[in-house]
Amino acid sequence: MRWPVKARDTWDVVIVGAGPAGLSAALVLGRACRQVLVCDNGTPRSRASKAIYAFVTRDGTPPAAFRRAAHQELRRYSNVARISAHVRRAKRLRDGRFEVQLGQRNVTCRKLLIATGVVDQLPQIAGIEKFFGTSVFQCPYCDGWEIRGAPVAVYGKARRGFEIARAMTAWTDDLALCTDGPAALSHSDKLTLRRNKIRLYEEPLTRLRGIKGKLQQIEFRDGSILPRTAMFFDTACTGRSQLAVSLGCEFNRRGGIRCGQYEATSVPGVFVAGNIIKDVQLSIVAAAEGARAAFGINRSLTREDFDRRASGVQRIEHPSMQPPLTQRRGRPQSPGA
């Protein structure tokens, strides 16, 4: 999809980010007859991955193939457009709309969905880039099945290291925790690791070695070598965009954007979906969050227009930052809630 023949200056919704979250939201909003602009800068988090996993009906699908299929589906909807653009900034106007800068062009929208994802911070180990996505991974739920039972290293410092080591015991019992320096773990934690047959290596790492993207060895500064066929790491990830910061969205203690009902943020009119929430980081979850955000966006737009036609007053409808009681108790809501 490209710009429509007559480029619009005003949209119902601008979606920033075109991964599973953004594309899922675009589909739901397109089917709700909304004028939607999807901004895709072409740098998905999954670019190093060979396949998407744990996504029912799409398990093992290459990310590029997933995106092509999504784009093909969205072509059915003439009210949805996708452009290749980096969103430089966005600001909320006095009337509650948003002005979004796309390169040298500005557009306005009534609602803004931020689905820009995160950037993984690779451990600072020589040679790691050659193995990222083939035998060095970030998510065991995505890639753990393929290395089940294999000799695996896990990389992380302090509690991060302990947590990723514990998580990986679901896939293999041949584990080595590499902390790249002092582990900063309690005696109790170290004892727990030993009782689970997880070896602890506190010596700093110097290099990863292997052939054609397949990890074979981990080298330490003292010259020792640890044979391993895969590594999983847990390091900090950062938001790909500063839009949420510049708009004044609140963040939670994990560094994710704080959101409430239907992925609504603390800024009226701004919604969020995908890994920038920093909750369960699976493609299928991101797609679900995109669909939920789209539901909330369309619900708000519909209520605003309904009330404006009745009263002549334009107000801003925004979901609560607290889930409704029925939702907290697990009871479904009706579509018109």
Distance CA(239)–CA(275), nearest Å, equals 9
What angle in degrees, to the nearest 10, is found between the helix axes of 158-168 and 187-195? Answer: 20
pLDDT at 7: 58
The tokens describing 228, both together, are: 């391993």
pLDDT at 337: 53
pLDDT at 254: 78
Contact 116, 276 (CB under 8 A): yes
pLDDT at 47: 58
The tokens describing 250, both together, are: 């609140």
H or E stretch including 26?
A: helix 20-31
- Considering the four listed CATH numbers 3.40.50.10190, 3.90.320.10, 3.40.470.10, 3.50.50.60, the one that applies to the domain covering 122-233 is 3.50.50.60
pLDDT at 3: 44
Q: What is the pLDDT along the chain (337 residues), one digit of tens a residue?
A: 444 434 568 999 999 999 999 999 999 999 999 999 999 887 665 556 788 999 999 999 999 999 999 999 999 999 999 998 889 899 999 999 999 998 788 999 999 999 998 877 899 999 999 999 999 999 999 999 999 999 999 999 999 999 999 999 999 999 999 999 999 999 999 999 999 999 999 999 999 999 999 999 999 999 999 999 999 999 877 677 789 899 999 988 878 888 899 999 999 999 999 888 878 889 999 999 999 999 999 999 999 999 999 999 999 999 988 755 444 444 444 455 5
Q: Is 324 exposed, middle or buried (0-12, 13-18, 19+ CB in 10 A)?
A: middle
Please determine, looking at this structure, whether the domain spanning 10-119+237-328 carries the CATH number 3.40.50.620.
no
110-to-45, 99, 119, 318, 328 alpha-carbon distances in Å: 27, 9, 28, 12, 29
Location of structure tokens 């995505």: 142
**Of 191, 195, 164, 192, which is closest to residue 177 (Cα–Cα)?**
164
Predicted structure pTM score: 0.88
The three-point CA angle 21-44-268 to 5° equals 40
The CATH 3.50.50.60 domain(s) of the chain lie at 10-119+237-328, 122-233
Its sign, for the CA torsion 50, 55, 57, 59, is positive
pLDDT at 179: 96
Q: List, in order, residues 6 or more apart from 311 with CB less than 8 Å away.
A: none
pLDDT at 105: 85
Distance CA(67)–CA(47), nearest Å, equals 11
Contact 88, 76 (CB under 8 A): no
Distance CA(124)–CA(114), nearest Å, equals 29
